[in-house]
Amino acid sequence: MAALKLLTSASSLVCLLVIALAATPSGAAEIIYAENLQYGQVDEVKLLADVAYPKSDKAVPAIVSVHGGRWLVGHKRDGSTIKVKQWAGFGFFAMSIEYRLVKQSPAPACYQDLQCAIRWVHAHAKQYNIDTQQIFLIGQSAGGHLVSLAATLGDGPWPRTGGWEKQKNDFRAAVSVSAAYDIVLLDWGIIWKPAGQDQGRARQLASPTEHVSKTMKPLLVMHSDNDHSVPIGNALMMVERLEKTGAPHRFHRYPKMGHMGINQEVIDKSLVFIREQSKQTGADRN
């Protein structure tokens, strides 16, 4: 099979391109896979992602995965992220992103990078045949915090960085797994330290619980009672506010799954949730 050339912007990093068949029945679409695709740049820091997508004549939904690690550690191929080739096999343009960690770039740099990634998807929708009305986010732990903040706050007061500043940052819904929602009350919330700001107010601003509304993006919350990294009470506080506000959401609670990663249960429930949201998108179009 002849090699294909991945089209990227002039500022994109030359990336490894691999073509493989998805682990789906014979006759399934070919999967195009690219490692270390550059989706943005801040000063000398290049923002990288792994992507995979099915070769298709029809527009496909997109999913952007955000890793955990308390904003300190983690990477785009660890257990807190989706496997992009697997999700391409499900029919998605799948993207797992790196973001600037707080050790090198204080918060909210990590959140600004997620926003950049969403804008990158919009900017490259035609190139990759993406349905921009079906862009989904999924994050675990600190990544879940970031996607929940995106669902509730949007850009917030922070400037757009990384590139594609004129593009939309809209998306359909978010999946939040073992996430932090009130980082003021969370013990490791002190890691969120924006430079030159009142730290208490900064953490309050960065807490999704503070921005719940009826107009926020639909949110799937998944959490376990025996999560020792983010206590279940943090998630229950978020769910209570979602319920009182009438915000669109689903909540799945588990007794003994610990600090859940992207396991099969998460995959199954996420696909159901995404399917529900996609149907609503279709209804909106009619």
Does the pLDDT value for residue 229 go beyond 70?
yes
Report how far residue 102's alpha carbon sits from residue 263's, in angstroms, rounded to the nearest whole number.
Answer: 26
Does the pLDDT value for residue 285 go beyond 90?
no
Task: Give the model's confidence band at 282: pLDDT under 50 very low, under 70 low, under 90 confident, else very high.
Answer: low
- Lowest pLDDT segment from 15-19, 74-78, 157-161, 256-260: 15-19
Do residues 230 and 177 make contact, with C-beta atoms less than 8 angstroms apart? no
Terminal-residue alpha carbon distance, the chain: 41
Average pLDDT (229-245) is: 98
Which pLDDT score, from 0 to 100, does residue 29 have? Answer: 86
Closest-CA residue to 144 (of 253, 225, 64): 64
Q: Which domains does the chain have, with CATH numbers?
A: 16-285 (3.40.50.1820)
Q: 33 pairs with which residues across the strands?
A: 18, 52
Percent of the residues in the chain that have a pLDDT greater than 70, as a whole number: 88
Name the average pLDDT for the chain. Answer: 91
Percent of the residues in the chain that have a pLDDT greater than 90, as a whole number: 87
Does the pLDDT value for residue 39 go beyond 50?
yes
Express each pLDDT in 89-110 by its tens digit.
999 999 999 999 999 999 999 9
Which pLDDT score, from 0 to 100, does residue 1 have? Answer: 35
Give how far the C-alpha of residue 146 lies from the chain's centroid of Cα atoms, to the nearest Å.
7
Do residues 26 and 89 make contact, with C-beta atoms less than 8 angstroms apart? no
The Cα-based distances of 54 to 20, 57, 126, 145, 160 in angstroms read: 10, 9, 14, 29, 30
Q: How do 30-42 and 16-21 pair as beta strands?
A: antiparallel
For residue 205, give both structure tokens: 């601003």
Does the pLDDT value for residue 4 go beyond 90?
no
Do residues 230 and 178 make contact, with C-beta atoms less than 8 angstroms apart? yes
Average pLDDT (272-284) is: 83
Q: Which residue has the higher pLDDT, 6 or 146?
A: 146
Which pLDDT score, from 0 to 100, does residue 281 have? Answer: 64
Express each pLDDT in 12-30 by its tens digit.
333 433 333 333 443 578 9
Average pLDDT (173-196) is: 98
Q: 136 pairs with which residues across the strands?
A: 63, 173
Closest-CA residue to 34 (of 58, 15, 14, 47): 15
Three-state SS for the chain is CCCCCCCCCCCCCCCEEEEEECCCCCCCCEEEEEEEEEEEEECCEEEEEEEEEECCCCCEEEEEEECCCCCCCCCCCCCCCCCHHHHHHCCCEEEEECCCCCCCCCCCHHHHHHHHHHHHHHHCHHHHCEEEEEEEEEEECHHHHHHHHHHHHCCCCCCCCCCCCCCCCCCCEEEEECCCCCCCCCHHHHHCCCCCCCHHHHHHHCCHHHHCCCCCCCEEEEEECCCCCCCHHHHHHHHHHHHHHCCCEEEEEECCCCCCCCCHHHHHHHHHHHHHHHHHHHHHHC
Which pLDDT score, from 0 to 100, does residue 284 have? Answer: 58
CB count within 10 Å of CB 210 equals 17
Does the pLDDT value for residue 10 go beyond 50?
no
